[in-house]
Amino acid sequence: MAISIPVEHVLYLAALLFLLGLVGVLVRRNVIFLLMSLEVMMNAAGLAFVAAGAKWGQPDGQIMFMFILALAAAEVAVALGLVLQLSRRFETLDVDAADELSG
């Protein structure tokens, strides 16, 4: 099933999702929510790629989406490992607690 819709509409959707993710990253202090928001942002980027692929009727957009998917999987695996470390060392999930690199 495939229908023809204006590309900019898909991009509007991608932008909306991306910005919602960004707001989540900026607002939430809980590192779990922060990571979820990151996933949303990546997903939005993938959506933009798929939209571009659909525009030209080529598989490249979907392939880019798959790479983003692989990246997200890798990122989330490492990041959740770090979350475990964070909660052990600082006894909290507050990302602002880990500010030891403060100049």
Partner 1 sequence: MEHLWLVPALPLLGFLVLFLTEGRLPDRVVAVVGAGSVGLAALVALFVGYQFTQSGVASHPQVLWTWMAVGSFAPTVTLHLDSLSLVMMGVVTGVGFLIHLYATGYMWKDHEEPRGYSRFFAYMNLFVFAMLMLVLGDNLLVLFLGWEGVGLCSYLLIGFYHRDGANGYAARKAFVVTRVGDTALALGLFLLFWEVGTLHIQDALDQAAALDKTTVTVICLLLLGGAVGKSAQVPLQTWLPDAMAGPTPVSALIHAATMVTAGVYLIARMQGLYLESADARHVVALVGLVTLLVSSFTALAQTDIKRILAYSTMSQIGYMFMALGVGAWSAAIFHLMTHAFFKALLFLAAGSVILAMHHEQDIFKMGGLRKKLPVPFWSMAIGSLGLMAFPFTSGFFSKDAILLTAWTEAGWLYWGGGVLAAGLTALYTVRMMVITFWGETKTEPHDASHGGFSRTNMWLPLVALCALSIGGGWFGIGVLDDTLGALIEVDSHFSPVALATMAMPILMIGLGWLIFTGRINVQGLVDSAVGRGLRRFFAGGWGFDWVYDRVFVGPFVWFAKANKGDFVDWTYRLTAGVVRATHYVAALTQSGRLRWYAANMAAGLVVLLLFVAGWL
Partner 2 sequence: MNADLVLFWVPAAIAVFSTALVITRKNASRALVYLVISLLAVAVVFFVLGAPFAAALEVVVYAGAIVVLFLFVVMMLNLGRSSVLREGGWLRPNMWVLPGILAFVLLIVMFHVFAGTQAKTAGTEVPPSAVGRALFGPYLLAVELAGFLLLAALVGAYHLGRRYLEERRAVVEGTGEGVDAGGDGGR
- In this chain, which stretch among 5-13, 22-30, 46-54, 73-81 interacts with partner 1, using CB under 8 A? 22-30
Query: Among 6-14, 24-32, 48-56, 77-85, which window interacts with partner 1 (CB under 8 A)?
Result: 24-32
d(CA 48, CA 46): 5
In the complex, least distance from residue 62 CB atom to partner 1, rounded to whole angstroms: 26
From partner 2, partner 1, none, which one binds at residue 35 (CB under 5 to 8 Å depending on kind)?
A: partner 2
Q: How far apart are CA 78 and CA 26, in angstroms?
A: 21
Judged by CB under 8 A, does residue 90 bind partner 2? no
Interface segment toward partner 1; rule CB under 8 A; list 5-13, 18-26, 50-58, 71-79: 18-26
Residues 95/34, Cβ–Cβ less than 8 Å: yes
58 Cβ neighbours under 8 A, 6+ residues apart: none
Residue 20 C-beta: closest distance to partner 2, Å? 5
Q: Does 91 bind partner 1 (CB under 8 A)?
A: no
For helices 60-90 and 31-56, angle between their N-to-C axes, nearest 10 degrees: 180
Q: What is the DSSP string of 86-99?
A: HHHHHSS-BGGG--
